[in-house]
Structure 1
Amino acid sequence: MTETVLCIKKELLPESWVQQKSVVPLDLDLFIKKCSIAGFKFIDRPDAEKSTSYKQIIPYIILQTRDLKKTAVYNRQGSEQRLHDLWSIGIGGHINPVDREKENDSFEKILMSGMERELKEELYKRPEGELPSFIGVISENITDVGKVHLGAVFRILTDSPENFLPGQELFQFSWKKTKTLDRLNLELWSTLSLDLISAQLRI
């Protein structure tokens, strides 16, 4: 059975979100409002992967210690062959119809449901009280993956990194010093996310 994924027509998204490289600090309400106005649809993933006229919306969740000194990383070994052997700081994936309880569910409800499902799939255990907060949008039109995806970036700040237990997809999961991450061969979205965190700190 063909997977269907949540997409928004690229031309209906704010221009600043879909530049060659986009790093846009943003609050959740404005992100939800802009996406809701643009409208969304579920499209067969093979078609969405070929069409640069749509952006597939991906919750991308970063784990950091509260003092920001350490960031969780893992090595890409999953189903997306184009990202293999790159290091990532983002946990996440596609939003599917399973994330919509009712036909008329809002974009916000579907997005948050998809994000929570991804966290449950990727982490066997995590501290209950530490919740993801939205920090902004990343996008790029450089890599084949980036051309058809838009990242909705969330972050969990934790006081107890040892209480995160990774699932099998998070290969070589570990906590690294944030200031040394540039020594890793990071996927482009991870580099953009670090830029987003820096931009947010300057606001």
Structure 2
Amino acid sequence: MAKDYQGEEILVVRRSLFDELGEFQGINADVDAYLPSLLNPENNFFMDRGAAEDDPSHKQLIPYCIFRVKDDQGTRYLHYTRGKSGGESRLHAQVSIGIGGHINPVDQREDHLGFDTYMAGVEREIDEELNIEGGHTNKIVALLNDDSNTVGQVHLGVVHMIDLENDDVAANEDAIANLAFTTLEELRGELYDRLETWTRCCVDVIEEL
């Protein structure tokens, strides 16, 4: 049974644009080769989410924010288990290090559908999903594509590295369960088999991002 998204509209680009820029599988850190075109208002537009979820001729632009803290305990990454109340039923119960979601019309700024609109959506998603005490920096470090499954075929991830001042972070949504910080060794060890595909892609190369 198809999920009712209640008329939600989300930012997309045509799959053909992604192919023209250079299709790839996995992580691509050459952000400058893709982002200006993807966030050009002439190339992106809002589309009904219900239609987009089953339409691989379009790619939904999804910020995928990784939260990192460096302190006397070393470098640790925020991770969580996706709960049943999350928006993507195909990812339930999987472990993720990515926070983010769709860019919606409410995020539009004066640049229409450009970089400012996109970043407004990113910060809105962070504020909705997490309660962060302390400052943070936000840097786009890579793009992420996985056409090996039905979820990945309709999404294109924009990977952000968020460096936190401290580890005082709490979840704002039931969809984010078991929130905690962990080391890269644990993510590549006992947790690895439970990681969602996008998180695996990031964990495999995270030192290079």
* TM-score category, normalised to shorter length: 0.7 to 0.9
What SS does the corresponding residue of 1:2 show, helix, strand or coil?
coil
Q: Distance in 2 between matches of 1:196 and 1:58?
A: 19
Q: Distance in 2 between matches of 1:126 and 1:137?
A: 28
What's the counterpart of residue 111 of structure 1? 118
2:145 is aligned with 1:139:
yes
Q: Distance in 1 between matches of 2:63 and 2:182?
A: 22
What's the counterpart of residue 88 of structure 2? 80
What's the counterpart of residue 3 of structure 2? none
**How many equivalent residue pairs?**
195
What SS does the corresponding residue of 1:5 show, helix, strand or coil?
strand
Q: Distance in 1 between matches of 2:119 and 2:33?
A: 15
Higher share in helix: 1
Matching of residues 10-21 of structure 1 within 5 Å? 10-13=15-18, 18-19=23-24, 21=25
Contact 1:7–1:41 (8 Å) recurs in 2: yes
Tell me how large the CA RMSD over aligned residues is: 2.0
2:57 to 37, 53, 63: 53
Please, what TM-score do these two structures have when normalized by structure 1? 0.87
What's the counterpart of residue 97 of structure 1? 105
Q: Which runs of 5+ in 2 are unaligned?
A: 1-5
Q: Which runs of 5+ in 1 are unaligned?
A: none
Matching of residues 1-203 of structure 1 within 5 Å? 1-13=6-18, 18-19=23-24, 21-27=25-31, 30-37=33-40, 39-66=43-70, 69-77=75-83, 78-102=86-110, 104-128=111-135, 130-161=136-167, 163-168=168-173, 169-182=175-188, 183-184=190-191, 185-200=194-209
| Cα displacement (A) at 1:14 | 5.1
| Cα displacement (A) at 1:30 | 4.6
Q: Aligned in 2, Cα 1:157/1:13: closer, same or farther, shift over 3 Å?
A: same
Which deviates more from structure 2 when the two are superposed, residues 150-159 or residues 33-42? Answer: 33-42
Please, what TM-score do these two structures have when normalized by structure 2? 0.85
| Cα displacement (A) at 1:70 | 1.1
Work out which structure has the larger RCO, using CA pairs closer than 8 Å and 6 or more positions apart in sequence.
Answer: 1
Q: Distance in 2 between matches of 1:5 and 1:82?
A: 18
